[in-house]
Amino acid sequence: MYSQALDERDGVADEAVNAAFEQRVAAEEKVEANDRMPAAYRKTLIRQISQHAHSEIIGMQPEGNWITRAPSLRRKAILLAKVQDEAGHGLYLYAAAETLGVSREELVDQLLAGTAKYSSIFNYPTLTWADMGAIGWLVDGAAIMNQIPLCRCSYGPYARAMMRICKEESFHQRQGFEIMVTLSRGTEAQRAMAQDALNRWWWPSLMMFGPHDSESTHSDTSMRWKIKRFSNDELRQKFVDVTVPQADFLGLAVPDPDLRYDDATGHYVFGEPDWSEFKAVLRGEGPCNAQRLAHRRRAHDDGAWVREAAQAHAAKQQAEQVA
């Protein structure tokens, strides 16, 4: 809480402090929890880190949906470990956000109240086993593109949390691709399952990079503060360039009639995602928004008596020790 007092006691932005801060960040120095920082920088980070944490926690649901139906014990173990990693990522990220003077309870309350955002991708349903492959390959693949640059984020605690998370995400991405390889070389039904999953996850994955740079509201400041290193459109292009040859390798068709390789630029040219769908999912009108939030609220409410019991027991233990 000490750190919070530093920037907020000024009330009005302290020009000199802000100028010194901008200079440090421009020089690629890391900002640490107790350092002075502009209130807007703190606010931006809390928003971004907590949205990321919420995404991990909500993200346990679409994949958790297939743990009990995993088709082999090896796949079951891998999927269980992956969903467990997501809970772990959620925890480190809430802890990273807490270094900025906000509590995990507050952030979780915002999620439960529906006032906080999380990645829209988790509002799509997982309909077949191939979705476990497609999520690892495309969704985790897109997440890595977004997240690798965050390992160099100007805010130290976030950057360090991201280093560990990225290592695990990279394993998730590879296991997803491996599922896709196995399915695409499997039976006809398995190949059809893989193609269907690609058809459903391709466009939502491209939308994970956010709106076009021209429409992105937070981008400029985040770039200057070195929270963000690449623009949404740059990362989306990079993702398409890396992923299309992988789809070719799998023998699967990317569901974009406008997709073509441009020899002149060395990049793929691709079609426009349906941004009205993107906006609808953000507004809460995606296929699973209500379901995901209801699930989280139910788990939270069902656990209330357990958390109360743990606190009551700890208080009894403490009272006994004092006596």
Could you list the residues that contact other proteins (CB under 8 A)? 57, 60-61, 64, 67-77, 80-81, 83-84, 87-88, 90-91, 94, 129, 179, 182, 186-187, 189-190, 295, 299, 302-310, 312-314, 316
How near is the Cβ of 290 to other proteins at its closest, in Å?
A: 16
Residue closer to other proteins (CB basis): 260 or 313: 313
Going by C-beta distance under 8 Å and a sequence separation of 6 or more, which residues neighbour residue 222?
Answer: 44, 48, 228
Residue closer to other proteins (CB basis): 5 or 73: 73
Residue closer to other proteins (CB basis): 95 or 242: 95
Residue closer to other proteins (CB basis): 59 or 204: 59
* Residue with token string 């959620």: 90
Please, are residues 208 and 146 in contact by the beta-carbon 8 Å criterion?
A: yes
* Residue with token string 């890595």: 144
How near is the Cβ of 58 to other proteins at its closest, in Å?
A: 9
Write the DSSP assignment of 268-323 as a string of letters: EE-----HHHHHHIIIIISTTHHHHHHHHHHHHHHTHHHHHHHHHHHHHHHHHHH-
How near is the Cβ of 257 to other proteins at its closest, in Å?
A: 31
Q: Cα separations (Å) of 188 from 127, 147, 174, 185? A: 18, 35, 23, 9
How near is the Cβ of 160 to other proteins at its closest, in Å?
A: 20
How near is the Cβ of 297 to other proteins at its closest, in Å?
A: 12
How near is the Cβ of 188 to other proteins at its closest, in Å?
A: 10
What phi and psi, each to the nearest 5 degrees, are found at residue 65?
-55, -20
Write the DSSP assignment of 55-107 as a string of letters: HHHHHHHHHHTTGGG-SSHHHHHHHHHHHHHHHHHHHHHHHHHHTTT--HHHH
Nearest to 233 by CA among 266, 253, 199, 207: 207
How near is the Cβ of 68 to other proteins at its closest, in Å?
A: 5
Residue closer to other proteins (CB basis): 9 or 74: 74
How near is the Cβ of 76 to other proteins at its closest, in Å?
A: 7
304 class by beta-carbon count within 10 Å (0-12 exposed, 13-18 middle, 19+ buried): exposed
Residue closer to other proteins (CB basis): 55 or 61: 61
**What span, in angstroms and rounded, lies between the C-alpha atoms of 204 and 277?**
9
Give the side-chain half-sphere CA count within 13 A for 67: 13
Residue closer to other proteins (CB basis): 4 or 84: 84
Residue closer to other proteins (CB basis): 171 or 230: 171
